[in-house]
Amino acid sequence: MCCLIRDMIESFSRRVFSGSSGTYNVHALELAAAKVRKLKGLDLTVHFLDDTEHVFHVEKRSKGSALLDLVHQHLELVEKDYFGLQYPENKAGPKAECMVWLDPSKTLKKQLSNCQTNLYFKVKFYVSDPSKLQQEYTRYQFYLQIKKDILEEKLIVAPSTAILLASYIVQSEIGDYCSEDHDGNYLSNLQLIPGQTLELEKKISELHKLHKGKSPADAEFHFLDHAKRIDMYGVDLHNALSEDYDTVLVFNMEAYRSAKTLWKTCVEHHTFFRLHSPKVKKKFPISLGSKFYYSGRTEFQTVSDIQQKGKVEHKFVRSPSRQLIKHITPAPSLEEKGKSFMAPARPSRPYDNKVTSLGSKEPRKAWGADSQISDDDGGFLDKPLDVPFSPGKILSYADDDIPSPTSNGLYDTPPYSASHSPISQIIEDGSVTITLFPDDEGKYGFNVKGGTSKDVPILVMKVAPNTPADNCSPRLSEGDQILQINGKDMSNVTYEEAVKLIQEARTTNGGKLVLQVKPNVLYSGLEEYEEPPYQYVPIGDAQTVQSGNPLEQSMLLLADGLASGALVARYETLYRKHPDMTCDESLKPKNVNKNRYRDISPYDSTRVVLKNGTNGDYINANYVNMKINGTEMVNKYIATQGPLQSTTEDFWQMILEEKCTLIVMLTTLVERGRAKCHKYWPSVGECLTMQNVTVKCIKEETDLTGSFVYRDFVVTDTAIKEDREIKHIQYMVWPDHGVPSSPAQFLQFTEKVRDARRDDAPVVVHCSAGIGRTGVLVLMETAMCLIENGEPVYPLEIVKTMREQRAMMIQNASQYRFVCESVHAAYLKNIVPQKEEEVPEST
């Protein structure tokens, strides 16, 4: 190589200087030197997440940071610290088992061999919440990465979640569903999920229809917001063997290089996510152990820097999903059969493939109370779908008024008014003073949380796009600590006091609101406190709020939460399964087939244990006991799945052993062609005989509307020849998707259940999975009892109590909103009269 270069220079020099009279061609010589330098450099191909690639020329002795800078400039990437470049250490391509991150602090010569010319741009640090990403383009890169992880099955996703995520991909790339343009196979040419079938495409299409009105940016945000909840999201896997020595767990890596790679990954992730700044290297004469340090910026530094700079969005082109198969329309000619071709271009929309203002147009609700959502398919919709916060969808803020009766529960965020410009001033101690004026609708556009007690800080929770709070420089961001509001110190105030100060500012001094804020997105002490439940502060009749009637106050708060949407937003933050409770018994091989759905399992600590079961002691059922505050009353339930044919005998054995007298059924046997429950009872006049019990149906009646069916059974314990009468009430018209059309009929049904209660025996309640509709009924009856006794009703606390006894009770936001509306209706219409206090007789 050296000889070749030398010969080139000598040859070129002879041509340049021959025949000259003491002059030489400077430009030609510089070109020759440039060619020589180019030979010493590297041409590296970087493959990007949108399946494009670009060749970068760098000096071989340059550090990795030089190549990274060129990549960031090429992409115009601002929030660059989340990303990195990977290359295969064993030169086996992008799917090699050992992929290594390019080290910015080391030279390319030490890291790349002559044959390693391909690198892959990837997400290195997976953000815990997409709302921390300030730039739409950054969120788009994350969206591409996760979509690629799912397709390559690096991220294993439950089918229900995969279907939901795919529906957001379709909305982002195709736009709103149109029956005229989108036939039954309009998704067949898009590669959306692994193992894609026509049946899965139909489910994806059904969800796609519900996303109408969402822009690509909205759909991608929802995609990320659901993806962050996947169990293996952001997990970097390394092959290892384990050895267990008493209390010590040892990981054996395949080779020294593998161990070093794992160690470096751990150091980088710990520093990036958990520290404010990287550790400073300390030089010692003798050093032991690894010398590796993470030299980049931490997440805290990245977010703080972007806040200070503000948003600078740029236009970019979104890439389509990979093509799978030939599109069926238009039909190909005979000559073209067997050839695949791209789907026909769709008409452009105003917001396709470019950044748009997220706050100027309100998208329609995809998951409102009237949406068609399956409730008991055992996790068909893996996560609640009513996302509490996303660009363009703002549910509630600390300064919101109650919407008008015609409002749909969302708030428009009009373009920022220049007449109410925010002013910010940097203070020497790192805090920022921001002066805000409300917009034309009287809103500042942010919400707060914290203040559980006097020592818990008040933090910014949400910021609406294109509002005064969003247009500050630096802008307010989630996690910022509010130190002062209009000069009042916030270090020892509660949530209610903070909200009251914000609301009062709108009516004084021209709406001027002065905030002293400490930009601190990753507040280090926050994890020590549990965020309190939402405490809704209604605006209006202060005398009523201070009247001292706890029930009346709780109903005011309930109405305010329903109107603003904050009630559902808080519900979304609840855990679905208690993190400290196990479901090990349901996973045993002998019990797996007794579960109707794989992801619906009873807690071990509260499960019903059969004493004399013919097939063992397991049944998918939990005790759920609901204490009525202010009384000695405890409503006892057994929440269970709809029996399978193979578990019918277990179900009746449970009825026998628990001395139950009432069964409440909230489903039909078949809904939309799918079996929801086995017919576990005999027809009128017939008898069902099992090993330990016989069941005879002696009566069956349907009400005039066809909504309810009442049955009477006689259950006989064959061992002791003892009979017991059992009431059976079935709700026949609960829609397969969504909730009842109005609370009135549901309240009537709940009253029937209350009237049928006898003794102290638990009421057996089941739907299909035993969590969705079952939870709605339990909450409703609990609330009725509380209203009857003049006690306040806090639905969120009731849900938490239920989920401490059976996972996922009240399965989705649609059900939760409906039951809250039913509770409020029951109170307003005096369906449950309050008991009068007993006056002691005078002596």
Residue 187 lies in a domain: yes
Query: Which are the contacts of 709, defined by CB distance < 8 A and separation ≥ 6?
Result: 700, 701, 702, 703, 728, 729, 730, 732
pLDDT tens, position by position, 485-507: 988 888 888 888 888 888 888 88
Residue 95 lies in a domain: no
- Note whether 703 and 630 are same-domain residues: yes
| Domain stop point among 525, 550, 575 | 550
Contact 120, 137 (CB under 8 A): no
- Note whether 709 and 791 are same-domain residues: yes
- Note whether 258 and 382 are same-domain residues: no
pLDDT at 538 over 70: no
pLDDT at 575 over 80: yes
| Domain stop point among 257, 285, 309 | 309
Share of the chain above pLDDT 90, in %: 31
Domain span at residue 205 reads 130-236+321-345+353-388
**CA torsion, points 424, 430, 431, 433, in degrees to nearest 10?**
-20
pLDDT of residue 762: 96
Residue 93 lies in a domain: no
CA 160 vs CA 203, 227, 400, 574, 575: distances in Å: 9, 12, 35, 20, 18
Residue 137 lies in a domain: yes
pLDDT tier for residue 750 given thresholds of 50, 70 and 90? very high
Closest by CA to 696, choosing from 710, 675, 711, is 711
pLDDT of residue 383: 34
Report the C-alpha gap between 487 and 494 in whole angstroms.
Answer: 16
pLDDT tens, position by position, 175-190: 888 887 888 788 888 8
pLDDT of residue 534: 37
pLDDT tier for residue 548 given thresholds of 50, 70 and 90? low
Q: Is the dihedral of CA 134, 136, 138, 144 positive or negative?
A: positive
Residue 623 lies in a domain: yes
Closest by CA to 378, choosing from 813, 817, 807, is 807
Q: Where are the beta strands (DSSP E) in 674-732?
A: 674-675, 687-689, 693-702, 708-717, 722-731
Tokens representing 298 are 């931490």
- Note whether 21 and 141 are same-domain residues: no
- Note whether 333 and 244 are same-domain residues: no
Tokens representing 167 are 């529906």
Average of pLDDT values for 548-568? 84
Q: Where are the beta strands (DSSP E) in 246-369?
A: 248-253
pLDDT tens, position by position, 441-485: 778 888 888 776 656 788 887 777 778 887 776 677 777 888 899
Which CATH number does the domain housing residue 786 bear?
A: 3.90.190.10
pLDDT tier for residue 238 given thresholds of 50, 70 and 90? confident
The mean pLDDT of the chain is 76
Q: How many CA atoms lie within 13 A of 620 on its CB side?
A: 31
- Note whether 200 and 340 are same-domain residues: yes
- Note whether 540 and 442 are same-domain residues: yes
pLDDT of residue 540: 40
Which residues form the catalytic set? 767
pLDDT tens, position by position, 32-60: 545 544 446 788 999 999 888 888 988 88
Residue 85 lies in a domain: no
Q: How many CA atoms lie within 13 A of 279 on its CB side?
A: 13
Three-state DSSP class for residue 346? coil
Report the C-alpha gap between 20 and 281 in whole angstroms.
Answer: 58
- Note whether 372 and 458 are same-domain residues: no
pLDDT tens, position by position, 310-356: 555 556 667 666 655 443 334 343 233 333 333 333 333 333 333 33
* Tally of domains in the chain: 5
Residue 415 lies in a domain: yes
Peptide bond into 330 cis (omega under 30): yes
Share of the chain above pLDDT 70, in %: 71
- Continuous segment of H or E residues that includes residue 269: helix 256-274
- Note whether 365 and 508 are same-domain residues: no
- Note whether 530 and 420 are same-domain residues: yes
> Which is more confidently placed, 542 or 833?
833
Residue identified by tokens 């069902």 is 688
Q: Which amino acid is at 829?
A: K
- Continuous segment of H or E residues that includes residue 264: helix 256-274
Which CATH number does the domain housing residue 521 bear?
A: 2.30.42.10
pLDDT tens, position by position, 217-234: 889 998 998 888 888 888
Q: Which residues of 10-30 are buried (b: 16+ CB within 10 A; e: fewer)?
A: eebeeebeeeeeeeeeeeeee
CA 320 vs CA 50, 226, 352: distances in Å: 8, 21, 12
Peptide bond into 474 cis (omega under 30): yes
- Note whether 643 and 655 are same-domain residues: yes
Residue 69 lies in a domain: no
Distance of CA 343 to the CA centre of its chain: 31
- Note whether 624 and 741 are same-domain residues: yes
Q: Is the dihedral of CA 220, 222, 225, 231 positive or negative?
A: negative
| Domain stop point among 388, 415, 441 | 388
Q: Which amino acid is at 134?
A: Q
Residues in the chain: 843
Which CATH number does the domain housing residue 228 bear?
A: 1.20.80.10
